[in-house]
Chain A
């Protein structure tokens, strides 16, 4: 069983503040690390797919970094807005294209 852990499980952020959270995954047999954004009553939508150690991706105010040697990725939200409230999922891609998800970090941005 692949261990993909996300922390914290949930966090509250004041509107305008920046925040970040972690995904940890096995450092061996790595193919890719995915980040998804999952709004209530919708289905998960892809944010980033990262494959190389040291990768940094950015989409608007959201960015992510990747360290495959130590097995972690950070997701950053700069200047949080209420519309950023969602659950953020990471998924570890291993051999055979198997994708294992973490438990998610639920972000609530307070106006």
Chain B
């Protein structure tokens, strides 16, 4: 398996632009997580899905952020409009939760810079 695939790896955009981050989880995994990593707050959970359904989006900073999972093999995280404080590395991770022992498998992250 290729692992969790995120795109793009790097994104540089201007304030006010829409940004879409993409994630393909590992085939067969039923949980998908979006995390944001910053120096100040470490790894913050933004939202996670189970079987394509959002379970907890309490970590989404504000209405400018939205996430979707239209099918088991694809998820997007959208920021509209983007702001400089959104600059961070965004990680997607997936897991298979048939048991409590399943770890997360992370993608390589998308480094977002908003100028």
Contacts and interface: CB of A to CB of B under 8 A. Distances in A.
Interface centre among A32, A43, A51 (most CB of B within 10 A): A43
B100 to A, nearest CB: 5
Interface in A37-83: 42-46, 49, 51
B106 A43 contact: yes
Secondary structure at chain B's binding surface: helix, strand, loop or mixed?
strand
B45 A98 contact: yes
Given A43-B106, A44-B106, A89-B43, A97 B101 contact: no
Nearest to A35: B103
Interface string B21-39: 0000000000101010000
B107 A34 contact: no
Q: Range of interface residues on chain B? A: 20 to 34
A98 B21 CA distance: 21
B18 interface: no
A43 B56 contact: no
B104 interface: yes
Given A43-B106, A97-B31, A99-B33, A51 B43 contact: no
A-B pairs, top 3 by smallest CB distance, nearest first, are A46-B103, A43-B106, A101-B43
Interface of A: 31-32, 34, 36, 42-46, 49, 51, 89, 91, 93, 96-104
